[in-house]
Amino acid sequence: MQTRHLSVHGAFEFTPKIFPDDRGLFVSPFQQAAFGEVTGRADIPVAQSNHSCSRRGVIRGVHYTATPPGTAKYVYCPRGRSLDIVVDIRVGSPTYGEWDAVVLDQIDFRSLYLPVGVGHAFVALEDETVMSYLLTSPYVAEYELSISALDPVLRLPVPPDLVPVQSDRDSAAMTLEQARQQGLLPDYEACLRVERALWSV
Q: Which H/E stretch holds residue 101?
A: strand 99-105
The per-residue pLDDT for 40 is 85
What does the pLDDT read at residue 86? 98
Sort 25 into a burial class: Cβ within 10 Å, 0-12 / 13-18 / 19+: exposed
pLDDT, tens digit, for every residue of 39-78? 888 778 999 999 999 999 999 999 999 999 999 999 999 9
Q: So what's the pLDDT on residue 44?
A: 86
Could you read off the pLDDT of 68-101 as tens digits, one per residue?
999 999 999 999 999 999 999 999 999 999 999 9
The whole-number pLDDT of residue 198 equals 83
Q: Is the dihedral of CA 133, 26, 16, 58 positive or negative?
A: negative
pLDDT for the residue numbered 14: 97
Residue 201 has pLDDT above 80, yes or no: no
Q: State the sign of the Cα–Cα–Cα–Cα dihedral 183, 184, 185, 188.
A: positive
Confirm if 198 and 45 have CB atoms less than 8 A apart.
Answer: yes
Closest CA to 16 of 38, 34, 39, 40: 34
Of 31-45, 57-71, 134-148, minimum mean pLDDT range: 31-45
> pLDDT tens digit string along 158-189?
999 999 999 999 999 999 999 999 999 999 99
* Cα of 85 vs its chain's centroid, Å: 6
Using pLDDT thresholds of 50, 70 and 90, give the confidence band for residue 199. Answer: confident
**Using CA atoms, how far apart are residues 186 and 66, in angstroms rounded to an integer?**
6
* CATH homologous superfamily, domain 2-198: Jelly Rolls (2.60.120.10)
Whole-angstrom Cα distance, residue 174 to residue 84? 20
Q: How many CA atoms lie within 13 A of 87 on its CB side?
A: 27
HSE, CB side, 13 Å, CA atoms: give it for residue 129: 24
Proportion of the chain above pLDDT 70, given as a percent: 99
Q: Where are the domains of the chain?
A: 2-198
Residue positions annotated with a catalytic role: 63, 133
Q: Please report the DSSP string for 127-188 in residue order.
A: TTEEEEEEESS---GGGEEEB-TT-TTT-----TTS--B--HHHHTPBPHHHHHHTT-SPBH
> How many angstroms separate the CA atoms of 3 and 15, rounded?
6
